[in-house]
Structure 1
Amino acid sequence: MHAVYCFDAYGTLFDVHAAVRRHAAAVGPDADRLSALWRTKQLEYSWTRALAGHYRDFWALTEDALDYAFAKVPSADTGLRGALLDAYRTLDAYPEVIDVLTTLKQAGAETAILSNGSQAMLDAAVAAARIGALLDAVLSVDSLATYKPLPAVYELVTTRFRVYPNKVSFQSSNRWDVAGATAAGFRAVWINRTREPDEYADLAPMATLPSLNGLESV
């Protein structure tokens, strides 16, 4: 059992495609394409902003990415913009999240989120999922005005919990995030929900799981 279990939020605890899924019938036959583009551009914009040193918070990037996705998918009604953004504030948590966090807390571990999401976004998602009581900290990049996978972001965890990096088990569904956490010295676990091929061979995860189930045994 590690001292601290830290989780990425979007794609790891919360299903990033749940927002479009809730309105799939209204979006139409290109709903999956819209959702995929929205997510891809959201991440791309965060990396560009970090490298350029020109911060714009994750909610603004989420809005920008949705606007781009609408422009690329003309079959989707832009009148749904507000509804989709409202749905993104309260994304569905994956079904195992509450049980896994409960198990970790009962075993005496400290738990946290470390996310590119803005603090307001994260607070809304945590409240909607009813997992606030199972978390010791919800850490946003807002305090640094940059984004993962820059090393300074991962240091938010070791500073908050006053532990060495090797005492942190870090979970993410994003392979690039796992690479960043590994480079920072964390014991990283890749939650490969969609069976993606591996990459970043020089920054390998400690373990790979298809979901968060069984994490306490890793």
Structure 2
Amino acid sequence: MRHAAYIFDAYGTLFDVHAAVRRHAADIGPDGQLLSEIWRAKQLEYSWVRTLMGAYLDFWQLTEQALDFAFRKVPSVDPAMRSKLLDAYWRLDCYPEVPAVLRNLKDNGARLAILSNGSPAMLEAATRSAGLDLILDEIFSVDSVRRFKTDQSVYDLVASSWRLYPEAISFQSSNRWDIAGAAKFGCRTVWINRADQPDEYRDLPPSLILPSLEGLVTIG
């Protein structure tokens, strides 16, 4: 393998953040996609704002608060769905190619880990539900530094714990802002541009852009 470690963002990269709403689409109605998009956007916004303020709350609390905001913003969706949606978020579907890609990298000698805003309990539940817990070597949560991405202390969690130089780490994320943060830290970065979004943060470019994780196996 070209890199000693392959580190993956969790939400949006390994796990489909819209799977919770999609699972209950029939009960939610036609505004489900809008609800899901607002839920995700506010979840991330809260993480950035709280890091800037130095007022940390764990990602599960932000997930709950973001959903409550989304319900108020989309009144056509019954707030009684709250508990079902939150329960589904603990068991998000992983993208179809994820297990095979991770196994392939592992079989070729790479160390694998998640580096995520998610709380330890959230990440443990998601990886166990998707059957990834036996493939990954470690799960790194921002909870240990009480700051969210793209704070540089988050990316240093892997380098310090595994005693690796940043350039020995290949970091994969579907979030362009996350890629920018890891690039600034010095990692090799692979932007998994699942939604075919336009590029941004041009001064902190990804090392590679792929439409899914599948290409990671052939390119390395």
Using the size of structure 1 for normalisation, the TM-score is: 0.99
**Alignment-derived partner of residue 108 in structure 2:** 107
**Alignment-derived partner of residue 21 in structure 2:** 20
Count of aligned pairs: 218
Ranges in structure 1 where 5+ consecutive residues have no aligned partner: none
Runs of 4+ in structure 1 displaced over 6 angstroms?
none
Query: How do residues 62-211 of structure 1 correspond to structure 2 at under 5 angstroms?
Result: 62-211=63-212
Separation in 1, partners of 2:102, 2:63: 27
Separation in 2, partners of 1:96, 1:153: 26
**Alignment-derived partner of residue 50 in structure 2:** 49
* Aligned-residue offset at 1:163: 0.6
* Aligned-residue offset at 1:195: 0.2
Amino acid at match of 1:116: N
Separation in 2, partners of 1:69, 1:50: 21
* Aligned-residue offset at 1:160: 1.7
SS of 1:133 mapped into structure 2? coil
Aligned-pair identity in percent equals: 61
Amino acid at match of 1:109: A
Q: Over aligned residues, Cα RMSD in angstroms? A: 0.5
Q: Deviations over 1:66-109 (max 9, x none)?
A: 00000000000000000000000100000000000000000000
Separation in 2, partners of 1:102, 1:204: 28
* Aligned-residue offset at 1:161: 1.2
Q: Deviations over 1:114-139 (max 9, x none)?
A: 00000000000000001111101100
SS of 1:214 mapped into structure 2? helix
Amino acid at match of 1:138: I
Separation in 2, partners of 1:40, 1:24: 19
Separation in 1, partners of 2:7, 2:99: 14
